[in-house]
A and B are shown apart, each in its own frame.
Chain A
Amino acid sequence: MSETWQVGELAHHLRDILRNSDVKSVAVQGELTQYKVAASGHAYFSLKDDDGKLDCVAWRSKAQHFPNDLEDGMQVVVIASVDLYPPQGRLQMQVEQLKPLSTIGLLEEVKRKLIEKLRLNGDLERLQRPLPFIPRHVVIVTGAGSAALADMLRIRDERWPDIRCTVIETVVQGRDSHSMLPRALRAAYCLQPDVVVVGRGGGSPEDLWSFNLEPIIEAILESPVPIVSAVGHESDHLVSDLVADHRAATPTHAMEMVIPIRGDHDMFLDEFTDRIGAALNRWLSRRRERLNSLAARLRSAPLIGLGKARQSLLMLKNSLTRSADARLQHERRRVERCRAVLQLTDPEAVLKRGWSLVKSTDGKLVRSRDVAAKAASLSLTFHDGDIAVKPMEDD
């Protein structure tokens, strides 16, 4: 660039750039420092954090609405626009509003950052491991002698008084909990549980806050078995709820999720024993029925055959009878015919009609003249008797 800037010219140019930029009425968070209200009523201070520091000014019209108890070291959020003051070349934020962050506000910010980090690590999308159907060893990590513990043990008594259960009593709130809770959790994992419940009863957000802290969250993420987060009440939402395999609304609820009702299982098994027995009995009785019906059919089968045989026999007999009758009739007719023929050929009948028989003396029929001519005497048979005759010699 060949043109040489006058310094004021550049300062004003930079101010114009800033004023035209989008760094206007932005929210900025930082630690309040060198806070001072001048006699004019304007407030001068700086905001800083680990990475930077910016000077701020609030004109009296704005500063008069600031809280009275502002102190250096407080975390505050300001709404401000960035400006450059050319006479002194000073970059400063012109503050319109200032609000101190409450403790919880601060914590919320830490929590937000932790959640963001977990999201980036993929810890929030982990697959939830299912709770064991029948847990062999339930380990509970909770407040020593707490009401929550008493409630949890009451639920155990109600559901399955003899189920194997280990309670690790620890500190669940305050600075000590930041190290004790992770220790308790890691000790729990070494006891070979197949499910872990970590929780505490209700309290203020600050009381529950340990369950939003990274050391505790890390320890929860290390769990080798399904882990249930049961902190406070239904309305409390903590980071531990996001990283545990399961979230229970309350410690009591966690125990209801984890511990089956022994009586139900006994009933279930009894019912199955009955059902299997009943099924077998039904099977047997069905087979028996089928066998019985088969047997009945077998028994009646020969009768049916015999009936049929009998029937066909009867039919045969009938047809036999019929054919025999026909045959008999036929024979009868033949006999009649024979009889008629016989009657016609009856010698007696012939003799009656005027014929006679010629016999020799020895009774033989004489059938020719030559035999008769040679005979000494002959016998003539008429229908009414014989007569001896002598043949006469012809010439």
Chain B
Amino acid sequence: MNYKERMERLEEIVRVLDTGESELDETLALFEEGRKLLNECSKELEEAEGSLRKLTVEEAEQSNDES
């Protein structure tokens, strides 16, 4: 599931919870899933973070050779 799909699932979970029609087991499962999705989203945001690098074309080519 990617970030966007997670967001969509979260919307769905909130919608189902809002109807209040789910049973206790289902409600707790949805809540747990929602919390998990939120954590994953936060993690993905953190993973997108890193440094700003500036390379010349030669440096970029070299860094590719090294890796």
Contacts and interface: CB of A to CB of B under 8 A. Distances in A.
Nearest to A162: B49
A280 B27 contact: yes
A183 B61 contact: yes
A279 B50 contact: no
A280 B60 contact: no
A167 interface: yes
B60 A163 contact: no
B13 to A, nearest CB: 7
A86 to B, nearest CB: 63
A163 B47 CA distance: 9
Interface residues of A, number: 40
B60 A275 contact: no
A265 B45 contact: yes
A133 B55 contact: no
User: Does more than half of chain A's interface fall in helix, strand or loop, or is it mixed?
Assistant: helix
Given A184-B60, A187-B60, A167 B45 contact: no
A188 B56 CA distance: 11
B50 A187 contact: no
Contacts of A168: 55-57, 60
B4 to A, nearest CB: 4
A103 interface: no
| 10 nearest A-B residue pairs (beta carbon) | A164-B50, A279-B17, A187-B60, A190-B64, A162-B49, A276-B34, A133-B4, A166-B53, A184-B57, A167-B54
24 contacts: A133-B4, A134-B45, A135-B48, A160-B48, A166-B52, A168-B55, A168-B56, A168-B60, A169-B54, A170-B56, A180-B57, A183-B57, A183-B61, A187-B61, A269-B41, A269-B45, A272-B14, A273-B38, A275-B14, A276-B14, A276-B35, A282-B17, A282-B20, A283-B27
Given A166-B54, A266-B45, 15 more contacts: A144-B56, A156-B52, A165-B50, A167-B54, A169-B56, A183-B57, A187-B61, A190-B60, A191-B60, A269-B38, A269-B42, A276-B31, A276-B35, A280-B27, A283-B22
